[in-house]
Structure 1
Amino acid sequence: MSQIKFPKRKSGRKRKIQAYQKLLYKKVLFYKKKRKKRTFYKKGSNRKMGRGIFSRKNFEIFGTICLLSLAVVVFGHVVRWNPTARKEPNVVQQKLSTSEDYQILPAESGPCGRPEIIQDFIVENPYSRSGIPLDAVNGIVVHYVANAGSTAEENRNYFENLKDTHLTKASSHFIIGLDGEIIQCIPLDEISYASNERNSDTISIECCHRKENGKFTKKTYKSLVKLTAWLCASYGIPSSDVIRHYNVTGKLCPLYFVRHEDAWTEFLSDIQKKLEKNG
């Protein structure tokens, strides 16, 4: 009869070693799995964020651009609405600082009182302001600018720029704008280049107009009547010595007053009424 062989029991020391090995093996597996999970999470997050326009780096760049744009817009509004932040002078200050011949003469009361006049004299030059004195003031000549829609300032600057362009000789003592503003370009004791052989003894007035037919706006006409009446009263000129450029050279100027004789007669009548009221 064969004997049954029972497996030998391991000693206590061996059992401890095996148990420790199993524990160590489990820990190694645990850390490996944990590390894999972390790596998978990072890779997953990268895939989720993407590598195109939605990447973290691009988001940071986009955010920076937005903040800078917002700062520029805010600064612009601050400068726009805070006059003290701007260093630009206003129009009057700029002209006063660049031209000693600029001033505004306030309007005077009375039927022949002086209207408000903006004195903005042209720089002396051979083409628009010669500085030659008037022999006398024996009449007033009315003109139109023949450039529909242009302003008084634009026509004044045209005369000024002739010193550089040398295109022709031209100027006027006064220019009346579309809104009735009056700009004086030449002192009243000097000649202007406007009325040919009558330059030496007349004062010239140019008038702006909106349309090609040369008809003046109501504001332009009103200022023309006031200015002409004031000049007539100041120099003792009768309304009969207020003439058109047409009466000197035959040129169709001022166009509307040449083609509409009744309008010209009415204009002279309006001046005469003011002179009579003035006494």
Structure 2
Amino acid sequence: MRFQKRKAEYLKKRRRRRQLRMLKRYLLLAGMAVGAVFLLSAGVRAISRLPIFHPGQPIAEIEIPSWITQDFLMPNPYSRPQKELKKVNGVVVHYVGNPGTTAKQNQSYFNSLAETHATYASSNFIIGLEGEIIQCMPLNEVAYCSNDRNSDTISIECCHPDESGQFTQETYDSLVKLTRWLAETFSLTEEDIIRHHDVTGKICPKYYVDHPDAWAAFRKDVFAEPF
């Protein structure tokens, strides 16, 4: 009887030791799995922060997001001279100055300069009243928009509903999205995002010249989160 009791206790202790070994093994494997997931996620975050554009890479090879509509101007000396843009050191924000007009109407105006010869003007992008984005010319071509900074910046014209020059919420949201993508693509800083006013002193974009606090808030919105 005592022998059977000792045997039962021995078997019980043996099972307990086996369970403890299995628990330790499980905890070790679980820890390794958690560590692997952490390292993988950290690696993905690090890769996602890498600039999309790399020095030496042709600007023409940059992939344009699907939320941008490409509607290029006809090549002509007045709005699309097809001069190569070799570097991008900034983004210049403008307003169209024609209240209530659409992105397509402004794109058509730039196109018409090929025939009217009225002036030299264009933009890389136009953002409409409903937030639609039209790309008027390839990223690797100079636009006639920002005077002395035409040769090293990307220009964005924004539509507005009234004389105040304030953008609709849809236009503003698309401007933040587009500017953020350009800043990430070309590794730009907050100081590289400027107004036409900062180049020539022109009251453009009007609302953000009249309200410098709103301009500062816009740039903060662009860089609200790390790339």
Question: TM-score of the superposition, structure 2-length normalised?
Answer: 0.71
Q: Which residue of 2 aligns with 1:160?
A: 111
What is the CA distance between 1:272 and its match in structure 2? 1.2
Aligned equivalent of 1:125 = 76
Q: Is 1:251 the equivalent of 2:197?
A: no
Cα displacement (A) at 1:239? 1.6
Show structure 1 runs of 5+ residues with no match. Answer: 1-104, 108-115
| Identity in percent | 57
Deviation digits for residues 69-88 of structure 1 (CA, Å, limit 9, x no counterpart)? xxxxxxxxxxxxxxxxxxxx
Q: In the alignment, what sits opposite 2:27?
A: none
Match of 2:30 in 1: none
AA partner of residue 164 (structure 1): E
Tell me which residue corresponds to 1:191.
142
| TM-score (normalizing by structure 1) | 0.58
Write the distance in 1 (CA, Å) between the matches of 2:126 and 2:163: 18
Q: Among 124, 128, 143, which residue is 1:173 paired with?
A: 124
Q: List structure 1 runs of 4+ shifted beyond 3 angstroms.
A: none
- Name the residue aligned to 2:175: 224
CA distance in 1, matches of 2:107, 2:124: 10
How many Å separate the matches in 1 of 2:182 and 2:192? Answer: 11
Partner residue in 2 for 1:137: 88
Structure 1: distance between partners of 2:91 and 2:173: 17
- Cα deviation, residue 106, structure 1: 5.3
Matches within 5 A, 1:1-279: 107=66, 116-274=67-225, 276=226, 278=227
Q: Deviations over 1:4-32 (max 9, x none)?
A: xxxxxxxxxxxxxxxxxxxxxxxxxxxxx
Distance 1:168 1:229 in 2: 31
Q: Secondary structure at the match of 2:208?
A: helix
- Tell me the SS of whatever aligns to 1:200: helix
Q: Higher RCO, 1 or 2 (CA under 8 Å, sep at least 6)? A: 2
CA distance in 1, matches of 2:95, 2:134: 14
Aligned length: 164
Looking at structure 2, the residues matched to 197 and 215 of structure 1 have their Cα atoms a distance apart, in angstroms, of 25
Q: Secondary structure at the match of 1:199?
A: helix
Partner of 2:14: none
Q: Could you tell me which amino acid in structure 2 is paired with residue 262 of structure 1?
A: D
- Give the residue type in structure 2 aligned to 1:254: P
Shift in Å, 1:135:
2.9
Match of 1:81 in 2: none
- Cα distance per residue 1:141-175 (max 9 Å; x no partner): 00000000000000000000000000000000000
- Separation in 1, partners of 2:146, 2:107: 17
Is the radius of gyration larger for structure 1 or structure 2?
A: 1
Secondary structure of the residue aligned to 2:156 is strand
Q: Residue deviations 1:176-213, cap 9 Å, x none? A: 00000000001000100000010000000000000100
The alignment yields a C-alpha RMSD, in angstroms, of 0.9
Q: Which runs of 5+ in 2 are unaligned?
A: 1-63
